[in-house]
């Protein structure tokens, strides 16, 4: 004689055989409610959707407008470099025709050098930010893959809520569909 017990506290969703029915090894006997697992799966799918939205946001580079702001700084500093180079070239032209002194050229060249340095700093900051975004995209992808694995695991648990006959025999003392049952509670016996 076998005693079939519930692996979890739940409700009996479906009963395949009633008292006195004969069953074969592997016949489905009961489907247990998988409300907890379904709720968890829906929650995980929502988490995955949120993680995917975040990954897409990061991949687009529009996280809090930082990419646009950094690109704006680079563009502004590039304009300053261009203006400094125009001023330096105008100064050289004035020197070549005798309208200005060679002594005034070093400060102008120094201004061009500093503007180029500031531009390089902005480009470096943008590059570091971009690399960090790539890292964040990879992390978001790992989170999504992890959630996918959780979903598969929980779906596996939910699919195991079909209780099957461990041997051939006759059903005795079967519980009815819709009944609540505790973990370890007796679903039926098989003679």
Q: What is the pLDDT of residue 166?
A: 93
* Chain centroid, CA 177 distance in Å: 39
**Residue 171 lies inside a defined structural domain of this protein:** yes
Q: Which of 31, 27, 37, 18 is nearest to 181 (CA)?
A: 31
Please report, in angstroms and rounded to a whole number, the separation of the first and last CA atoms in the chain.
5
- Domain span at residue 147 reads 2-63+115-190
**Residue 99 lies inside a defined structural domain of this protein:** no
Cα–Cα distance measured from residue 25 to residue 143, given in angstroms and rounded to the nearest whole number: 41
Cα–Cα distance measured from residue 161 to residue 104, given in angstroms and rounded to the nearest whole number: 87
Number of domains in the chain: 1
**Residue 93 lies inside a defined structural domain of this protein:** no
Mean per-residue pLDDT of the chain: 84
> Strands 162-164 and 180-181: what pairing?
unpaired
Grade residue 11 by pLDDT with cuts at 50, 70 and 90: confident
Q: What is the mean pLDDT of residues 151-160?
A: 76
Grade residue 145 by pLDDT with cuts at 50, 70 and 90: very high
Burial (CB count within 10 angstroms: exposed 0-12, middle 13-18, buried 19+), residue 165: buried
**Residue 18 lies inside a defined structural domain of this protein:** yes
**Residue 92 lies inside a defined structural domain of this protein:** no
Q: Please give the model's pTM, rounded to 2 decimal places.
A: 0.49
Grade residue 124 by pLDDT with cuts at 50, 70 and 90: confident
Encode pLDDT of 12-59 as tens digits.
Answer: 888 999 899 999 999 999 988 766 677 788 888 999 999 888 888 777
**Residue 179 lies inside a defined structural domain of this protein:** yes
Q: Identify whether the C-beta of residue 187 lies closer than 8 Å to the C-beta of residue 3.
A: no
**Residue 23 lies inside a defined structural domain of this protein:** yes
């Amino acid at each position: 004689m076998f005693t079939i017990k519930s692996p979890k506290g739940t409700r009996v969703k479906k009963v395949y055989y009633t008292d006195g029915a004969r069953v074969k090894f592997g016949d489905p006997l009961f489907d247990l409610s998988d409300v907890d697992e379904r709720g968890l799966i829906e929650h995980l799918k929502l988490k995955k959707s949120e993680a995917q939205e975040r990954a897409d946001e990061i991949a687009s580079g529009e996280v809090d407008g930082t990419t646009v702001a950094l690109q704006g700084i680079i563009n502004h500093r590039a304009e300053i470099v261009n203006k400094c180079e125009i001023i330096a070239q105008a100064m050289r032209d004035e020197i070549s025709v005798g309208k200005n002194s060679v002594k005034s050229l070093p400060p102008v060249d120094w201004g061009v050098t500093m503007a180029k340095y500031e531009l390089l700093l902005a480009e470096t900051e943008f590059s570091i930010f971009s690399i960090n975004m790539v890292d964040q995209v990879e992390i978001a992808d790992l989170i999504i893959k992890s959630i996918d694995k959780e979903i598969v695991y929980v779906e596996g648990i939910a699919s195991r809520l079909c209780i099957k006959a461990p041997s051939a025999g006759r059903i005795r003392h079967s519980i009815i569909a819709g009944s609540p049952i505790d973990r370890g509670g007796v679903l039926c016996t098989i003679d």
